[in-house]
Structure 1
Amino acid sequence: MKLYGKTWTRRELEARVGDIRQIGGVTRLKHADGKETGVEVIRVRTGSGLAYDVTPQKGLDISLAELGGVPLSWQAPNGNVHPMYYGPEGADWLRTASGGLLMTCGLAHVGSPGSDAHGRYGLHGRVHHTPASHIAAGEHWSGDELELRVSGIVEETAIFGGHLRLIREISSFLGENRIVIRDRVENRGFRSAPHLMLYHFNFGFPLLGEQTEVRFPAAELAPKEEGTPVEGYDRWQAPDAQAEERVYYHRLRPEAKDEAGMAEVSIHNRAFPANGAAGPVAVTLRWSADTLPLLVQWRMPGEGDHVLGLEPSNCVVGGREAVIRDRGGLPELAPGEAVEYRLELNVQLELPSS
């Protein structure tokens, strides 16, 4: 593996440490204060600067993410609040959503609250507040490469209702600043079931600064609300107490996808403070565009609420009625049908030479 500017074998590294977790690895911790009490955090350290916290009680989502001890993600004021405090009605999701690098929205509903013949739906669905089961977390050698892996299952079920299962695996390699998320959503029931899915990635200060630029894939750009200005959608700004959130849809063009069917969006900051110096950083989010054909952008440069959301999705976020108008119907999974999603986050930091 490549680490500290040099290529190492497994045995060469093991000869220099008592435990490989001195360099990087997977550690399981638990909150013990306030509304976070009982929430487990699985901390992954890649040894090359990237560290992130996976939260099994919060849909196996990712909370704080850092590079060299400097945050990349935006953290909500709620913290990693225990899902026992979750209220599924209306917009109560906002009281217990953790922010962090990733909040998954779905599995049966995304976006604005509402109701239909299937029932009532709160903002962004239940999956971010559903504890995972069958959790596995550890380090796995393959030759001279060490994979850091967390996996589990999140199920959304109801008597006389649907049965959707999310099988998630999150992995990184020692020496790499990269996160790979592999998801499989299955309809385990015996009736077709609506399946709406959105990956709510949240980025914050100091990755976001006045010098930050966002480079989007080839797409048709349109604001969610008619009349919303589009100027500055690809740049950032200083906090503004009067700022209002803006939501944009980026409908991917065919040329946005590479040969593997992946699209990407990247955040560039030429003065990111890491390792005691400021230098250029690029954070690139890649995803399977065949199954997530829409990129939703949430731009909120307020004070405190100072966050950029980049959100690959299979639907718009105006609620089920808006999805039906946009697509001509709800995305569904037939009984026994499954869909797979792949997402990658890559962080590249180049500090000026001394």
Structure 2
Amino acid sequence: MTRLYGREWTRRELEARVGRIEQLAGVQPFVMREGPEAGQEVFRVRTGSGLSYWVHPGKGMDISLAEFCGIPVSWSAANGDPHAAYFRDEGNHWLHTASGGLLMTCGLSQAGAAGRDEYGAYGLHGQIHHTPARQASYQAEWQGNEYEFRLRGVIEETSIFGHKLRLTRTITSRLGENSLLLNDCVENAGFTPAPHLMLYHFNFGFPLLAEDTRIVLPESSCAPRDDDMEISRIDEWQAPDHRFKEQVYYHEPLERQTYICAQISSPSFPVPGLSSSSGGLTVELKWDQRTLPRLVQWRMPGAGEHVLGLEPSNCWTRGRAEERGAHSLKLLEPGEAVHYEIELKFKTS
């Protein structure tokens, strides 16, 4: 059964009430036409119960704008969503073409600060956010009485005489549900061991972020990235401050269970049809800590850059050379694969 508009429906009951199911929800392909975005194909997903989001096959099958009942929950960078052709993989140039949005994937052989190691120079956060997908496709079909949307793409990070890493991504949502499930498989398609750093850069913004917003993190050991950074206010938010310097915190969850979660609770989020005293919106991010044992928190309540990043990862953000020096660098053996699963839910009270 599908729960929609406050009641349960069968497939035939819903089909009897519409000419096409896309009246209620669906996946629509678009081509962007203007500015640095021109030429990109994108998929817009509508679940019919409030959640909608845009998936970019041309940028690693990452997710840009996400909305709940037409109101944004993600943060959009000043860059917009530039075509991957503008990307330069040196130093911090990633910052000029990164989209922001709900999800920017950082990897596959590098995440975090730019640097150099025995493999050569590498840029900030790696290449995968700026790599177009092959075999990009979507399906929208009934599974019994549930209507399911699945988007799939294959993104490869390769070079002659270098690494050959392949990411196969599937994003799934259902009619009537305000959630999405991300399933990733990263495999080493080469014949030598390859470094593998993976960080899921989820970005949340106004009006989900307000002065009354509270962040609930899993019980963790916590350390600031920088020595001059105090551990303070990590569970709350504040008004924009143009003088603010970004804060990055490293959390190692202490819970020994398969799935752990973090929550952002925004009592004043303006959900249409609900009063301000009804509890607003809560966003829950849940992931499998067997493959993503770390959480990076990017706290940036500046002006313009007004964003909270919650980033499940298998690394910190100091870059590949630092991970190797700390003996924490993940290596994928030839033919080895690792699976990642992350679920995002949006809930009203």
What is the TM-score normalised by the length of structure 1? Answer: 0.96
Identity of aligned residues (%): 53
Q: Say what the alpha-carbon RMSD is for the aligned residues.
A: 0.9
Q: CA deviation at 1:349?
A: 1.1
Q: Which residue of 1 aligns with 2:248?
A: 247
CA shift digits 1:105-152 (9 cap, x unpaired): 000000000111111100000000000010111212111000111001
Asked whether the 8 Å contact 2:116–2:321 carries over to 1, the reply is no
Q: CA deviation at 1:291?
A: 0.3
SS of 1:242's partner is coil
Asked whether the 8 Å contact 1:39–1:80 carries over to 2, the reply is no
Q: CA deviation at 1:227?
A: 2.6
Aligned length in residues: 345
SS of 1:180's partner is strand
The answer on 1:335 being equivalent to 2:346 is no
Asked whether the 8 Å contact 2:218–2:255 carries over to 1, the reply is no
Q: Which residue of 2 aligns with 1:79?
A: 80
SS of 2:96's partner is helix
Deviates more, 1:241-250 or 1:272-281: 272-281
- Give the distance between the partners of 1:210 and 1:175, measured in 2 at CA: 30
Q: Which residue of 1 aligns with 2:54?
A: 53
Q: Which residue of 1 aligns with 2:299?
A: 299
Give, as a single letter, the amino acid of the residue that structure 2 aligns with 1:301: P
Give, as a single letter, the amino acid of the residue that structure 2 aligns with 1:330: L
- Give the distance between the partners of 2:250 and 2:229, measured in 1 at CA: 12
Q: Which residue of 2 aligns with 1:159?
A: 160
Q: CA deviation at 1:70?
A: 0.4
What is the TM-score normalised by the length of structure 2? Answer: 0.97
CA shift digits 1:242-283 (9 cap, x unpaired): 00100000111134x3xxx11100000111112154342110
- Give the distance between the partners of 1:121 and 1:21, measured in 2 at CA: 44
Q: Residues 304 and 276 of structure 1: is their aligned pair in 2 closer, same or farther, counting only changes over 3 Å?
A: farther
Gaps spanning 5+ residues in structure 2: where? none
- Give the distance between the partners of 1:276 and 1:49, measured in 2 at CA: 12
- Give the distance between the partners of 1:231 and 1:112, measured in 2 at CA: 23
Q: Which residue of 2 aligns with 1:275?
A: 272
Q: Which residue of 2 aligns with 1:348?
A: 347
Give, as a single letter, the amino acid of the residue that structure 2 aligns with 1:49: G
- Give the distance between the partners of 1:155 and 1:267, measured in 2 at CA: 33
Moved over 3 A (4+): 276-279
Q: Which residue of 1 aligns with 2:317?
A: 317
Q: CA deviation at 1:319?
A: 1.3
Asked whether the 8 Å contact 1:69–1:274 carries over to 2, the reply is no
Give, as a single letter, the amino acid of the residue that structure 2 aligns with 1:284: E
Q: CA deviation at 1:329?
A: 4.4
- Give the distance between the partners of 1:192 and 1:166, measured in 2 at CA: 16
Give, as a single letter, the amino acid of the residue that structure 1 aligns with 2:343: E
Gaps spanning 5+ residues in structure 1: where? none
Give, as a single letter, the amino acid of the residue that structure 1 aligns with 2:345: N
Asked whether the 8 Å contact 1:25–1:138 carries over to 2, the reply is no
Give, as a single letter, the amino acid of the residue that structure 2 aligns with 1:158: S
Give, as a single letter, the amino acid of the residue that structure 1 aligns with 2:329: L
Give, as a single letter, the amino acid of the residue that structure 2 aligns with 1:339: V
- Give the distance between the partners of 2:310 and 2:139, measured in 1 at CA: 29
Q: CA deviation at 1:324?
A: 2.2
- Give the distance between the partners of 2:255 and 2:269, measured in 1 at CA: 33
Q: CA deviation at 1:100?
A: 0.2
